[in-house]
Amino acid sequence: MRASDGELIILDAGIGLHWLGNELLSNGFADGGGGKHPDHTHALGSHPGPAFFPTHAGTGLPDPSVEPIGRAFMGWKRRNQGMINTGDINAGTLIATNTGDPSVKLAYDAPFPDPTYKAGPLIMPQRVPVTIDYPGAAENAAAWEVFKRWEKPFLTSFSDSDRITAPWKDRFLEEVPGARNQPHSTIENAGHFLQEQKGEEWARLIVEFIQANPTQE
């Protein structure tokens, strides 16, 4: 997204983060001092960009070699397996119920004309590594080694009612050097889908973080 003053803010670049960072820098983006702030933990840890300042909320980087996966996520994983067995996930209903806002149901159902389009959201919870020999566990552990050396500003703003990701917040605060002396916060009265329940408050925190940490190349 682009702010009113022209500053480009990257909220989630996914696995294209490394390519995008290099592309922006090669085109002189950093010369203007613009802030670049993604939120995609594994991609950032695997391919750290030279000018990215992360803001993390409702996410994590599970590393079963250090700590067991919480009961809340394992319960969701079992529930999700039942959805896989039936071949469908009611995305709109799930999010509308979780947020308490029925108005979002149609929006979250819109990308999926029928269940055959839902392979991605169906399998995604099963891709989270829950044991040390699980696919992706070694990559997450390696990404943590990057974060242990991360000196750039790093902000967390988790919600108070997200039982799945809340246990992962403390490790970011304890092990990421860039997280020290940052104004971390807990957003109240919100669950996992923070963008729907407290979107404006979360956006304000990100804007304040950007303003307090101007990019300098």
127-184 pLDDT, tens per residue?
A: 999 999 999 999 999 999 999 999 989 999 999 999 888 888 999 999 999 999 999 9
CATH topology of domain 14-66+132-212: Rossmann fold (3.40.50)
The model's confidence at residue 2, banded by pLDDT at 50, 70 and 90, is low
Q: Where are the domains of the chain?
A: 14-66+132-212, 71-127
Number of residues in the chain: 217
**How many other CB atoms are there within 10 angstroms of residue 12's CB atom?**
11
* Whether residue 22 has pLDDT greater than 60: no
Other Cβ atoms closer than 10 A to 179: 19
**Cα distance between the two ends of the chain:** 21
Q: Encode pLDDT of 39-83 as tens digits.
A: 455 555 555 554 456 777 878 889 999 999 999 999 999 999 999
Three-state SS at 203: helix
The confidence score (pLDDT) of residue 172 equals 93
Residue pLDDT, tens place only, 146-161 = 999 999 899 999 999 9
The SS3 of residue 2 is strand
